[in-house]
Each structure stands twice: as C-alpha cells, then as structure tokens.
Structure 1
Amino acid sequence: MSLGDEHGSYGGEPSGGRADESFGGTGQTRTRLPGGDTDAYGSPRRPPARSSRSLIAVVGVVVLLIAAIAFANRGGGDDDPSGGGGTEAGAQPTAATGVKPVTGKNGANPAIPSGYAKTEQGAQSAAANYAVALGSDGMFKAATRRGIVEAIYDPAAAGALMTGLDKAYSAGFLANVGLSADGTPPDGMTFVSRTVPVGTKVTAQNGDTATVEVWCTGLVGLAGPDSTKPVTDTWFTMTEKLKWVGNDWKIESSSQKEGPTPVNGDNRASSADEIAGAVQGYGGFTYAR
C-alpha cells in the first residue's frame, strides 16, 4: 500500500524492493516567521528527520504491489478517466451519503466486503474496500493473494493477473522487502502494509461500468528492533475501473499516481514496539460512501 512521477496503467515491470522509486520524492513548504527559525521557547526549530534513501526503498514496495496488480491488464479501453459522463471534482465532497453500508462478506481469506449496490455510491464503496485489500499484507503471501484477487477482480482478468503477480512476488523481491520466500517476516519483526482510504470520487459511470478514484494514505515497512526498513507513510490516488459482474462490482484494471500529499508534520516517530502494537491491536474498517 508508494509515492514523484505519475503512474498510469500498470504495465511496467516492477523493480527494486510496494518498487517504483519515483514515489520517493516529497515536497515541504516552510514559512519563516519574524524572529528567526526558532520555536516559542527560543530553541532552533528541529527540521523533520527524513531519509530519502529509506523512504524510496520502503514506499517503493507500495508501487510494486499496484504495478504488479495491473501487470496482466495492460492495453484495451480508454485510459482517460474524465470522459463518459464524469462528475466535476467539486460536486462530490467527501461526506457520508446516508446509504446503508454493505454487510456481506465473500469467501476470501481474509474476507472482503461484498454485495455492493449498483449505484454511484456502491461503486465508491467497492473501490474503497478494494483499495484496502490490495494494499494489505495479505498480498505478500501466495494463498491469501490469490484469494484477494479472485474476490475483487473480474474473473475474466483474474487468471492472467495471478500469473503476473506470482512473477512479481518472487523470492528475490520478498527478500528485498525483508520477508522470507513465503512472505514471513523475520523473528521479532512485524511486517506492516495497510492502506487507508481518505476519500473517493466517481469520474465516469455508464450502466455496467464505473471509474472511481480513491485517495489513500498507507503504511508499509518492518517494525522491530534494528529494522532497516522502518514503517513509513505514503500518499497516493488509485484509479479503479469497475465492471458489474455477478451482481457485484469487480475490478477490470487499476492504476496509481502520487499524492495529493500534505506537508509532513513534526510528530515524534513512535518506537517499533508501539507501531507493531498499534497494527496488531487496531482493526480496519468497512468503508461506505
């Protein structure tokens, strides 16, 4: 669930070690107030600690995940999400619609919400929950990865997609992420890969198809003593092309681009134990537009 250059349809081969390093760049603006660059107590203001190299290496994992997902989906269709009955950006603020959330779960392991309404809100709800699934740590293990893909992708695309994913999640790639060949983290380490949707927007809808953008933040990395790939946050927007298949929305193809990314705050970084405890102790949500 990583994030300089814009990413289109994921046809490129993954490299590096979630591994398109172009997502490593971030920008920051600081306003210098009268009296110098000091805080209220007269001490020099501490710039946010940041390692560009570590950031690129860790958040690159997020890009690889999404790139691999579209490995078998290149070609075909109009890649312009703005056409075909799109809605202007300002017409849909990120606010609850009042539509009852989906209550069904499919048979995937882990279970993923299913049974969305064939409406604009239903498409947005599906896209948000699918973004969570695609950005989860389950994608790094063969069995759970297959279950996720089969649950949320159009069956016509799922088979070829799995072939691309199995190649992408090679033993060499997993080793670069810090995992064993079967996706297991080292003893004493907790692997973190979690995506959190911030908002959704339908950019096109026509009968049995819809294109939905999901603005996300994500966490990815290894939490544990002496981790060389610490858990880092990312910001990106996923575009999912959905199709109504078997009385539910399914993904035909997906793509990702960087941002919008807010200015990084000066929050104190938590310890590895705190991060691991939070990931293990706080469950995720079922999202509904």
Structure 2
Amino acid sequence: MSLGDDNGYGNDSGRTDDAYSTIGGTRQTRTRLPDGEGGDGYNTPRRPARASRSLITMAGVVVLLIAAIAFANMGGGDGNGNDGDGSGKGGSKPEAASTAATGTKPVTGKNGTIPSGFAHDEQGAQSAASNYAVALGSAGMFSTDTRRSIVQTTHDPAVVESLVAALTKAYSPSFLKNVGLNEDGTTPSGLTFVSRTIPVGTKVTEKTGDTATVEVWCTGLVGMAGPGSTKPVSATWFTISEKLKWVGDDWRIESSSQKEGPTPVNGDNRASTADEIAGAVEGYGGFTYAR
C-alpha cells in the first residue's frame, strides 16, 4: 500500500483488479482463484496464478490473511528469513520440537472478537501475531465497520488512520463486486463468502525489549461457496512477517509483509462441493491461538 516511506510502508504495492490478490485486505492472505465461469468449480482445481504485490497488508489480511491477509504490503517487517534466538543477533536452527506447544494457557481476554492480553515475551508475541493474522484474514475485513474495528484492535494507533484510509479506497464497490460480493460488501443471497487464515507455525526472527518480529506460516481459504458459485473456494500457502510493538499493555502490529510459501504438495483428496464447503464454514468455528 502506497502510504509513503515516512510511514514505513512500501511504495511498490498496489491492489490490482484481481479480486483474489489478497484475503481479508491483507497480503497475509494472498490467494488467487481460477477465473473460469459456470459450474461450482470444484471438480477442476487449478494452480492459482501469480500476481503482483497487492495494495493491502495482513494478511492479509491475510487472508488470508488472509487474504488475508487479511493482510497488502506494510513495509518494515524483517522479511529476510533470518533465524533468531530472541536477541536479534541470529541463532541456531530451531529444534525438531520447536512446533510443540509451550504449555502456556491461551489468553482469556478479548477486544471485541479478537483475543487480547498477550504476555510481554516471545511466547506472547508469537500468540499475538498468529491471532492478528487470523483477524486480518477474515471476511470481516470486507465490511467497512468491522474492518476499522479489526485494524484498531490489531495495529499500533500511530498507523491506524492512514491504514484505514488506504483500505477504504482499496475496498471499492467495484473491487467488492469483482470478488463476488455486493457493492456494499454483503454476500449475495444463497451464497457463503469464505475468507480465512489458518496459522501453521510461528518463529521469532528478532526480539528486543518492546519490539518483536514474528513470522507466521499460514494456509488460507478464500472464495464463494454455494449453488452456482463461479468463484470457488481455493487454498494458498504463505508466510507473514509482522513487526510488533508493545503499546500500552499489549502487542500491536507496527508493519508487516508477506511472501509465498512454503507450499506442500497437494494431496489426493477429492474436492468438496460448494454446498459442503459452505456447510463446513458455517458449522466450524475458529480458534484462539497460543504458542
């Protein structure tokens, strides 16, 4: 998103007309879908096409960030893949058990629907980054009211207004229509809009007293499910790098960036019908992620 270098955002980002270049308004969740018309699109899955960097950051967001981000390209994240030991000087490779849970209980607080009250340490930073990736990759990013609330809850207050203004322009009526939604962001009758970011793992690449850079490896879902859908729900893999800052009594995103992969080989699972996907999205809730 072109918010200018003074704000720490890259100048080469730009949302394209491709409806699925992001999920949830964040490059955290960049997802590309087939452009074919007719049918529910689930019997002929194709590899998503690549796109230029989009305007909005997870993430996503994501969405998918998810989408997706939700989460756009908010420059300033480390994004160079350096391993860290929490000191910012680099460290040894993660141990085989690095993806095991810490044993720390999930946070109990919530700011609206988004978890809050994360610990002021590496574990808390990883938990915050994961939960923020989910929020920024959610379908709520496509609605004006909920989008502002999500951004305010997840970001440093110093960047909120400029980010909200950029997102308002990006989520134009024509863009919303292109993704299959109505021009006001509502979902057409009989269909279910899907935009979800699912964290797979986290890694701290840099940590000082009140700042941390956390990479979140994610998979994301985006598309329209239901009878006659021409925008089938598709999955993608990406890694979000969130630069976090301790603000007040919680972690907040100062800036973030996204890159493709790592992407596993697709399995031999049968692609579900649009109705099955819609039923799953409506029937299965999300999680509070704790590292």
Shift of 1:266: 1.3
Decide which structure has the larger Cα Rg and report it: 1
Q: Deviations over 1:157-210 (max 9, x none)?
A: 111000110011111111110001221121110000011100000000011000
Shift of 1:51: 2.7
CA contact (8 A) 1:238 1:257 kept: yes
2:250 maps to 1:248? yes
Q: How many angstroms apart in 1 are the aligned matches of 2:11 and 2:131?
A: 20
What amino acid is the match of 2:105? K
> Which has the larger helix fraction?
1
What amino acid is the match of 2:14? E
- Residue of 104, 108, 120 corresponding to 1:103: 108
Shift of 1:12: 0.5
Farther-moved stretch of structure 1 (123-132 vs 182-191): 182-191
How do residues 1-289 of structure 1 correspond to structure 2 at under 5 angstroms? Answer: 11-15=12-16, 16-19=18-21, 49-52=44-47, 55-56=48-49, 62=64, 65=67, 70=72, 73-74=74-75, 80=80, 82=82, 84-91=88-95, 93-107=98-112, 111-289=113-291
Unaligned stretches of 5+ residues in structure 1: 1-7, 26-47
TM-score normalised over the length of structure 1: 0.79
Q: Deviations over 1:3-55 (max 9, x none)?
A: xxxxx958511102242799659xxxxxxxxxxxxxxxxxxxxxx94334xx3
What amino acid is the match of 2:217? W
Q: Deviations over 1:63-113 (max 9, x none)?
A: 895589556x44x68665637234444247111011121110013xxx100
TM-score normalised over the length of structure 2: 0.78
Distance 1:10 1:81, change over 3 A: farther
Q: How many angstroms apart in 2 are the aligned matches of 1:223 and 1:155?
A: 35
Q: Secondary structure at the match of 2:13?
A: coil
Q: How many angstroms apart in 1 are the aligned matches of 2:207 and 2:19?
A: 36
Distance 1:77 1:267, change over 3 A: closer
Q: How many angstroms apart in 1 are the aligned matches of 2:11 and 2:257?
A: 6
What amino acid is the match of 2:46? S
Counterpart of 1:36 in structure 2 is none
Distance 1:62 1:98, change over 3 A: closer
Counterpart of 1:4 in structure 2 is none
Q: Secondary structure at the match of 2:218?
A: strand
What amino acid is the match of 1:240? E
Q: How many angstroms apart in 2 are the aligned matches of 1:224 and 1:57?
A: 26
Q: Secondary structure at the match of 1:215?
A: strand
CA contact (8 A) 1:221 1:231 kept: yes
Q: How many angstroms apart in 2 are the aligned matches of 1:24 and 1:172?
A: 18
Q: How many angstroms apart in 2 are the aligned matches of 1:287 and 1:170?
A: 31
Identity, % of aligned pairs?
62
Q: Secondary structure at the match of 1:97?
A: coil
- Name the count of aligned residue pairs: 252
Q: How many angstroms apart in 1 are the aligned matches of 2:282 and 2:66?
A: 24
Shift of 1:283: 0.5
CA contact (8 A) 1:19 1:63 kept: no
Distance 1:68 1:196, change over 3 A: closer
Unaligned stretches of 5+ residues in structure 2: 1-8, 34-42, 55-62
Q: How many angstroms apart in 1 are the aligned matches of 2:12 and 2:182?
A: 26
Q: How many angstroms apart in 2 are the aligned matches of 1:159 and 1:219?
A: 28
Q: How many angstroms apart in 2 are the aligned matches of 1:90 and 1:200?
A: 11
Q: How many angstroms apart in 1 are the aligned matches of 2:67 and 2:168?
A: 11
